[in-house]
Amino acid sequence: MKKVLILHTGGTISMVQQAAGVTVTDRHPLSETLDVLPDDIEVKVEEIFNLPSPHIRPQEMLQLKRRITGAQEEGFDGVVITHGTDTLEETAYFLDLTLSKKLAVVITGAMRSSNEIGADGLYNYVQSIITAADDESKNQGVLVVMNDEIHAARFVTKTHTTSVDTFRTPTFGPIGILSKQKVIFIKEVVEHHVFDINKVAGNIQLVKAYAGMDEFIFNLIAEQSVDGVIIEALGAGNLPPQTLPGIKKILDKKIPIALVSRCSNGIAQDIYDYPGGGVQLSKLGISFVRGLSGQKARLRMLVGINAGLSGQELAKFMIG
């Protein structure tokens, strides 16, 4: 018998459609649907909090991490977290950075509330429990299961505002699929260092680059109490040259800056050697993060700082 802990956190999967819009309910719509599970899976259900996912902060992510660490000591084989989709990928990645691989951790959600036509919550929920109970899932890091696909937390992202197949992994693709109730892994997960942090202090700012951008926002950041900056840069990793004076002010204050591409596919690289080009940005001391989105790079820096990393250690960690 496999034991799976269910942690409900809120989100569309826990909501119902009403005349005024999709809203939170007092009773979780999935609370009485576990009779459809295979007989060899036993579940325990807890509602750790009930929040729309835009309300979830690193503090709630840390709360989940602590509960899952406790579940490891309680003999569970896996954990399933139901979560709103807007920030699901961020919670998944935070947990991936901070949890050891002692048990399977799966995060899922829904794009349609429980009483809408074509509601996807129950199906994703059941498939996630089956995945969490599978022995092979324990060695894969944190997983996101939606729409019969299994994605690694590190690279998965929400790509569509309303479609049920919104969660995809640009460039790399899913690491597994579900066929009925069978879990099939088709790729190996890239190994990475895990930090068992116990706090999430720090002010990390995320800035998106655009054509004609100047130093204005960077000058403002340099005047504040900031612990780090993530820039979603143009193309492979370039910025308008007018941004450089403000960026240098931040770096002069020993505030770390890491850079990702604002493109949804590919990785940031220091290729171009012109004012604002990646080669010059790298020489200034900006770290180029490989394959992460801006929001995930921000969490990576937050975890690194709370793990006590700084200087070259933090820069190396950010590269990935």
The residues carrying an active-site annotation are 12
Beta-carbon count within 10 A of 40 CB: 8
- Asked if 13 contacts 30 with a C-beta cutoff of 8 angstroms, the reply is yes
Beta-carbon count within 10 A of 89 CB: 25
Which value, in Å, is the radius of gyration of the alpha carbons in the chain?
20
- The rounded distance, in Å, linking the Cα atoms of 267 and 237 is 8
- The rounded distance, in Å, linking the Cα atoms of 266 and 55 is 30
User: Collapsing DSSP states into helix, strand and coil, what is residue 66?
Assistant: helix
* Beta strands, E only, 51-108: 78-82, 104-108
Beta-carbon count within 10 A of 193 CB: 10
Q: What is the dihedral of CA 143, 91, 265, 186, to 10 degrees?
A: 0
Give φ, ψ of 319 to 5 degrees: -60, -35
Q: How many residues are given for the chain?
A: 320
